[in-house]
Amino acid sequence: MIPHRSTALLSVIVFVALLLFIFSASPAPDVAGDQAKATGPAKFVPTPKLPSLSTLRLPSFRPPSHEQPEEQSNSTHGESKWYSTLEWLNPFSSSITLDEGRSVLPPLRERRPIYTYYNAKYNPNKSNGKDHKELQKADAELLLAWRRAWFAQGFKPVVLTPGDAMKNPSYEIVQKLKLAPKTENEVFGWLAWGHMGTGLLADFHCFPMARYDDPMLSYLRRGSIPESITRFENLKNALYAADKTRIDAAIQSAVLKLTDQTQSFVDLIEPEMFKAESPSALAFYKSGAITSRYPSVHEKIGQNPASGQRALVQLINSHLHNNFQNSFPAGLAVLKPFPQHTTALVEPALRLAKALIQCPESPIPESCPPNLPECRPCGSAKQPMRISQPSTYKNTTFLFTIGTLPHPYTLISLKKSSEEITTPQVRRETGRDEWLYEVTKDDLGPELGSSSRGVIFKQVVAGEDAVGTSLWMTVESLPADAGQSLPAELLDEFEWQFGFKIPRGGKIDPATENNKETAKSAQDHTPSEQGVGKEYELIRKAREVIKDKTTNRINIKDVVEAWNLADTEVWRFVKAYRARSVLERQKWEQEEKAFAGSRP
């Protein structure tokens, strides 16, 4: 009797043989021969072919999948890659991009253009020859400060020229008149604005002097009412907002009334075309305000226009800086989770914080902006702006937060105080997503999962409510040597977020490793148990491991990332978010490099 096992085997063999017989035993029909034997209409009827194994497809049991999204333009910078979409609040970017290295970011915010008109030949102050060239350089410094302040508030600053005014259809009418230089400058500014279209037109002595979330600035970013031209009471010619149809209508009606004796172009526009708003967030440094509020600067302008203009630029910068300090009464928070191991990790952020609380240089230190006469000047308060180093993020608009994210491998190296990290150590001796849990535990509690924490943290970094209240960066993009000052190019980049020049004196830097006692008091009262120098060395070596793609040690980086999926996700998110902001500004500066006020 055949055993049961042999019966099963024999059945399989018979089944396979039968399949082979069906599909391969019968010779394929000779199509050409059959057609040759056929006569009449039958010869035109094609003979069907039997299917072969090569043409048969078994049903797929894979789950349905999507194609990888196409790479967007301007979506890479350095080592960072991103994909912008409305679905950016996702626990893991790879579920959308199908690419572990590409982060999903929110769509880039549209910047509303704000225009100013500048004619290098027009000079209300008396100067000639060499003095005039120096004044043009000083004007360029003022225009640069104007660009930086408005860019930080979410706008796209553009400097218009007489060339833009000449492209307006109404230019042919205006150029035949012999207008006074001041009136001509005003008219050409409107013509240039009309050529460009919808947006804002500002005098380059008009600066935003308020928090990013100020209601008036938010209103201007959204766009004005299309039926009217928005102007601001008691600030004639300081700032207007309108769409192209209203601008064109105003220009066409006013140009017809122009004469050689016209003193003000705006007075020729029908009053009903305007809608007045309160200028609470605008500081207008017009000549009358300079004369009455800042007499020493006015005196300098009279003695030497170029020197006086530079003094005005310094005064405005000090007011912008002081406005930032007054906007955050709770001070600056430099996030420092795991304080026994992260002194070196947060030192660059602490250097930046110490620069931001410095009193800026000013020709009139105790002065206030024109729109904030009751401000609290830096140095006049009993206590300077406070710097705290909490281990967790505080969700409050009264506190400005500077956050530094380490790669999970960097954090484990610091906590273990060793560069030799093994897979068993990672899995047995470390928790998952420790950084993210630590910085969110106060606000979110201990129960929430890592993926949900990651989504909320992304909102903290890139959400609409977070703009203007925090700055986030990755450790690996910062200096990794003890006592090393922040690079000039990094401070340059930060200035476009803050809107003012950051003090760069050596006195703001914490002491170097050679003076450890001073370093302790300057940085923190809980230094690393192994010493700050050891931390810097670990950070430097961790950076090499993260970047190196040839050595076998990169495998441990992959293990750490797989063990800390949420920490890795937010680290890549912050890295890509900063890279995109840098690329956005560089692209805009490239477009504007030929015009006055661009960076040298």
CA angle 158, 162, 167 (to 5 degrees): 90
Q: Report yes or no on 8 lying in a domain.
A: no
**What is the domain-level CATH number for residue 239?**
3.90.550
* Two structure tokens written together for 528: 């690393």
Residue matched to tokens 């000639």: 128
Axis-axis angle for helices 565-592, 130-152 (nearest 10) = 150
**Residue 370 · residue 285 · CB < 8 Å:** yes
Of the candidates 555, 574, 553, 575, the residue with the CA atom closest to the CA atom of residue 563: 555
Q: Which residue has the higher pLDDT, 32 or 432?
A: 432
Residue 37 lies in a domain: no
Asked whether the predicted pLDDT for residue 382 surpasses 80, the reply is no
Structure confidence by residue, pLDDT tens digits, 277-309: 989 999 999 999 999 999 999 999 999 999 999
Confidence check: pLDDT of 442 > 50 = yes
Looking at residue 592, its pLDDT comes to: 87
Looking at the structure of the chain, the number of domains it has is 2
Cα(321)–Cα(205) distance, rounded to whole angstroms?
A: 17
In a domain, 118, yes or no: yes
Q: Which residue has the tokens 């890139």?
A: 462
Task: Give the domain range for residue 356.
Answer: 328-592
- Residue 290 forms part of a structural domain: yes
Q: What's residue 301's pLDDT?
A: 93
Encoding tokens for residue 368? 């206030």
pLDDT at site 105: 94
pLDDT confidence of 524, banded at 50, 70, 90?
Answer: very low
Query: Which percentage of the chain shows pLDDT scores above 90?
Result: 63
Q: How many beta carbons lie within 10 A of that of residue 16, not counting itself? A: 10
Distances (CA, A) of 568 to 108, 558, 564: 22, 10, 6
Residue 123's identity, in one-letter code, is N
Q: Average pLDDT, whole number, for the chain?
A: 84
* Higher-scoring residue by pLDDT: 586, 127: 586
Last residue of a domain, one of 308, 339, 369: 308
336 and 299 inside one domain:
no
**Is residue 363 located within the same domain as residue 291?**
no
404 near 345, Cβ under 8 Å? yes
Residue 439 and residue 340 share a domain: yes
Say yes or no to pLDDT of 507 above 90. no
Domain membership of residue 362 (yes or no) is yes
- Average pLDDT rounded to a whole number, residues 161-174: 95
* Pick from 592, 368, 380, 348: nearest CA to 494: 348
pLDDT at 33: 44
- Mean pLDDT, rounded, for 374-384: 82
With cut-offs at 50, 70 and 90, classify the pLDDT of residue 365. very high
pLDDT tens string 446-473: 899 999 999 999 999 999 888 999 999 9
Task: Flag whether 1 is in a domain.
Answer: no
355 and 236 in one domain? no
Q: What is the mean pLDDT of residues 345-361?
A: 94
Q: Is 381's pLDDT higher than 90?
A: no
Both 182 and 223 in a single domain?
yes
Q: Which residue has the higher pLDDT, 114 or 515?
A: 114
Task: Tell whether 541 and 411 lie within a shared domain.
Answer: yes
**Residue of 320 and 48 predicted with greater confidence:** 320
Any domain includes 5: no
Q: Which residue has the higher pLDDT, 537 or 73?
A: 537
Q: What is the pLDDT of residues 181-234, one digit of tens each?
A: 999 999 999 999 999 989 999 999 999 999 999 999 999 999 867 789 999 998
End of a domain among 280, 308, 336?
308
- Range in 8-17, 42-51, 236-245, 363-372 the model is least confident about: 42-51
Q: What is the pLDDT of residue 71?
A: 72
3-state secondary structure 34-68: HHHHCCHHHHHCCCCCCCCCCCCCCCCCCCCCCCC
Is 90 exceeded by the pLDDT of residue 162? yes
3 belongs to a structural domain: no
Write phi, then psi, for 474 (nearest 5 degrees). Answer: -105, 145
At residue 439, the pLDDT reads 96
Q: What is the pLDDT of residues 241-252, one digit of tens each?
A: 999 999 999 999
Report helix, strand or coil for 225. Answer: coil
Indicate whether 261 and 395 sit together in one domain. Answer: no
Q: How many degrees, rounded to 5, is the angle at CA 435 between CA 430 and CA 440?
A: 130
- Let me know whether 380 and 274 are in one domain: no
Q: Is residue 325 predicted with pLDDT exceeding 90?
A: yes
Q: What percent of the chain has pLDDT over 70?
A: 82
Ranges of H-type helices in 475-531: 488-498, 516-523
Q: Which residues, in sequence order, are CB contacts of 162 under 8 Å at separation 6+? A: 119, 188, 192
Residues 151 and 263 in one domain: yes
Query: How confident is the model over 88-122, as pLDDT tens digits?
Result: 998 988 888 888 888 999 999 999 999 999 998 88
| Cα Rg of the chain, angstroms | 34
Confidence of residue 76 (pLDDT cuts 50, 70, 90): confident
Q: Quick one: 291 exposed, middle or buried, by C-beta within 10 A (0-12, 13-18, 19+)?
A: middle
Q: Which pLDDT belongs to residue 373? A: 92
**Which pLDDT score is estimated for 483?**
75
Q: Per-residue confidence at 411, pLDDT binned at 50, 70, 90?
A: very high
The residue-averaged pLDDT of 492-511 equals 78
The predicted pLDDT at position 521 comes to 36
Could you say which DSSP state residue 508 is in? G
- The residue-averaged pLDDT of 469-481 equals 87
Are 341 and 302 part of one and the same domain?
Answer: no
Domain end call among 308, 338, 373: 308
Inter-residue contact 236 to 266 (CB < 8 Å): yes
pLDDT class of 20 with cuts at 50, 70, 90: low
Residue 535: exposed, middle, or buried by beta-carbon count in 10 A (0-12, 13-18, 19+)? buried
Assess whether 303 and 348 both reside in one domain. Answer: no
Q: From residue 293, how far is each of 108, 205, 306, 315 by CA, in Å?
A: 40, 15, 20, 12
Instruction: Please tell me whether residues 247 and 390 are part of one structural domain.
Output: no
Question: What is the dihedral angle through the alpha carbons of 418, 423, 427, 431, rounded to the nearest 10 degrees?
Answer: 30
